[in-house]
Structure 1
Amino acid sequence: MGSYDYVIVGGGAAGCVLANRLSANKDVTVLLMEAGNDEKWIWTKIPVGYLYCINNPRTDWCYKTEPELGLNGRSIIYARGKGLGGSTLINAMLYLRGQARDYDEWAALTKDDSWSWDNCFSVFKEVEDSWRGNNESHSSGGEWRVEKQRLSWEILDHYAAAATQAGVPSSSDFNEGNNFGVSQFDVNQKRGTRWSSVRGFIDPIRDRPNLTIMSGVLSDKLAMEGKQVNGVEFIHGGEECVVMANKEVILSAGAIGSPAILQRSGIGDPAQLSHLDIPVKHELVGVGKNLQDHLQLRTVLKVEGIKTLNQTANSLWGKAMMGLEYAFNRSGPLTMAPSQLGLFAFSDKSVATPDLEFHIQPLSLDKFGDPLHTFPAVTASVADLRPQSRGTVTITDKNPHSAPKIAPNYLTHETDRLKAVKALRLTRHILKQPALAPYNPQEYLPGSEYQTDEELMKAAGDVGTTIFHPVGTCKMGEDSDPTAVTDSRLRVRGLKGLRVVDASIMPTITSGNTSSPTIMLAARGAKMILEDHFDQT
């Protein structure tokens, strides 16, 4: 299938940014490869369409976790976007950078100050096109559109008031380095439509003559000669093909896809590879290790005397009005992100920066995919932002069509279990504040019968589910770290011609939703690649 200077494997958040930035240099040729479609489906444009896209093989890889001990033996769905745009086609659209301490921690772990908050902050601004305009914290004119939400719910206003009564201040901006507070989330939307990475970074540049986009191609493994990576072997139309890279192959298949491709290529932990009868071409024991994710604990609160989406969505008249409001104004419930109100708080006084994130919604259901409840209710989900539990991603055979084994190992670390108890108690503390009292909130899930620490740990395992933020499985680090897969310039250690640029390189998870940090790190990665290219020439 020919050769290109740079071959990018994966057209998700990171891959779209890389294709944009690398092809801006007219002296190089770029190939962007995506296993899914060049998706034009209407539900990838209407924000509430995530309800139809998640767990749908058209737009989701439809992974599931292994049965999780910390979730009382449950296996849960593990959505990963499929198609140009990747998970930005199906995610929550919440614009969150994380906290300054996250990036300063990366700098310390890699001994590379270029990953510090101050340096990453400037890249966040560079790619941003914010409704806030140009100021010390934000900018306009970039590719990554950020807007206010186009709907409001009275019940969420009262919940925000209850949070302030519980000691969490109102916030005007979650993205200045310390996100302590309560506020509506900003969202990656444009005039009431989802703003995915393909819309922001690919659609405006599709006609560049030095950029080629191939969708519907399933990457299998890397083409290698010794320690030199020369290309990618992939499946297209049922045929086995290969494309060569003159300069570099860049894996951007995400925290699940990138380690799987490395493992199929014989790059990883020899003990795992030999078990699958895969010849070891390069030993890197950290491939597929260090999986981190945000586990949310869903509390459902029945309320009285106030409107929630449950009543609206269960009424034919309500559905009709929602459709008309969207059709004429691009506003209302069809523009809803999965969560509207955000809250960042401390699990206890010993924590230096907020380590809990709440997603509050004016709706409720038993589990994702089920119909909304018929009674009015609010869901308040709380996540430990910096979990200590670590999981793994491991292929099960040589077949690229086979789903890997995903084992997040939620709540297996004692610190995470204790924090889950604190998080659920804080949720109840907010529930008891005067601002919510007129609506007689009652805990429907997990239920007020859970009171002791042991009972609440059991409840956390029953109601816990992912917010779909897997990171860390090809982490960057120092050469002295035997589990590091890449160096701080995202080059795979011990190999030539190969980098990983996606959420898998994060050594630790960011304190918030992960799509915008992935956009940022991809923009930084592209700069590194071009700097190294020009240094060589």
Structure 2
Amino acid sequence: MTYGVWCNDKMVYEVLSNDEWGNDEMMYDVWCKDEQGNDVCCNDERGNDVWRNGERMCDVKQELLKRTTDSSFDVALFLLHPKSKGYIRLESSNPLKQPLLDPRFLEDPYDIEMLLKMIRWTQKLEKTSSWKSLRVKLIRYDMEGHCGEIEFNTDAYWRCIIQHFVVSGLHPTSTCRMGSRRDPTAVVDPTLRVYGIKNLRVVDASVMRNVISGNTYSPTLMIAEKAADMIKCGTKY
């Protein structure tokens, strides 16, 4: 959710600049800088414009950026334990072929409803004295073809916004989860060795049983440290 801070009908409180907002927030993958530092459309690996749901995504992003200034700021809402689960599968026996990856975001309705509750909680902040003193106002995301036809601030409206504008937290885990031989979902044993394949370990966030409640960076370092110790000690524990 993006907000503007107003004083005398002008946005004045600088929290997050447009450049920062464009780097890692909504639809980050379609917005780039040219050699002169101007905003331009990013292309995919084949040089084509990125499209989604029939829209050229950088056009959508450009429209949204018009609604913000250097005083805009985001309230980032993170669903720590989504129920939707994706998959990664082999496309063929060719090891050089890219695997099939489908994150299946929002497949479980629970995730949408939890995000809706988080939005409603955030809206309560608008009524606090701190936010009122800054004259904070919501900057709407809707536009023609993107929830603009739905009555604003209804549950249906926010469910539509969630489905159009949600992005990944970029910390996928558990595609090679650790477990016992009796666990049909397990890929590696407690020493991170891949079941059924000799001399192969997996040492990254994919061995986590489930997604954790925080950033995966430090825990992944600890997994690597533990793996290094086990390898050095001949995996006797």
TM-score normalised by L of structure 2: 0.69
The one-letter amino acid paired with 2:3 is L
Q: Is the 8 A contact 1:475 1:506 kept in 2?
A: yes
Please, which runs of 5 or more residues in structure 2 have no aligned partner?
Answer: 33-38, 40-64, 143-149
Change (3 A) 1:498 1:430: same
State the aligned residue count: 189
Change (3 A) 1:375 1:531: closer
* CA deviations over 1:437-492 (Å, ceiling 9, x no partner): 12221211346954333332211111201121111111111221111101122111
The one-letter amino acid paired with 1:495 is I
Q: Partners of 1:364 and 1:489 in 2: how far apart? A: 35
2:111: which partner in 1? 416
1:443: which partner in 2? 138
Change (3 A) 1:521 1:431: farther
The one-letter amino acid paired with 2:122 is T
SS of residue paired to 1:498: coil
Q: Using the TM superposition, give the Cα deviation of residue 405 of structure 1 relative to its aligned residue in structure 2, in angstroms.
A: 2.7
Percent of residue pairs bearing the same amino acid type: 29
Q: Is the 8 A contact 1:310 1:374 kept in 2?
A: no
Q: Using the TM superposition, give the Cα deviation of residue 379 of structure 1 relative to its aligned residue in structure 2, in angstroms.
A: 0.8
SS of residue paired to 1:500: coil
The one-letter amino acid paired with 1:405 is L
Q: Using the TM superposition, give the Cα deviation of residue 375 of structure 1 relative to its aligned residue in structure 2, in angstroms.
A: 5.4
The one-letter amino acid paired with 1:510 is I
1:429 is aligned, of 124, 134, 139, to 124
Q: Using the TM superposition, give the Cα deviation of residue 396 of structure 1 relative to its aligned residue in structure 2, in angstroms.
A: 3.3
Change (3 A) 1:522 1:445: farther
* CA deviations over 1:382-422 (Å, ceiling 9, x no partner): 1100111110123434262x543321111111221211111
1:300: which partner in 2? 2
The one-letter amino acid paired with 1:463 is F
TM-score normalised by L of structure 1: 0.32
1:137: which partner in 2? none
Please, which runs of 5 or more residues in structure 1 have no aligned partner?
Answer: 1-298, 315-337, 339-360
The one-letter amino acid paired with 2:127 is K
2:195: which partner in 1? 493
Change (3 A) 1:383 1:532: same
Q: Using the TM superposition, give the Cα deviation of residue 530 of structure 1 relative to its aligned residue in structure 2, in angstroms.
A: 2.1
2:166: which partner in 1? 464
Q: Partners of 1:399 and 1:492 in 2: how far apart? A: 17
Q: Partners of 2:124 and 2:98 in 1: how far apart? A: 41
2:73: which partner in 1? 378
Q: Is the 8 A contact 2:84 2:105 kept in 1?
A: yes
Higher relative contact order (Cα pairs below 8 Å, separated by 6+ residues): 1
SS of residue paired to 2:105: coil
Matches within 5 A, 1:513-528: 513-528=215-230
Change (3 A) 1:495 1:515: same
Matches within 5 A, 1:78-477: 299-305=1-7, 306-308=12-14, 367-368=27-28, 369=31, 373-374=68-69, 376-397=71-92, 398=94, 400=96, 402-446=97-141, 449-477=151-179
SS of residue paired to 1:526: helix
Q: Is the 8 A contact 1:364 1:378 kept in 2?
A: no
Change (3 A) 1:445 1:487: farther
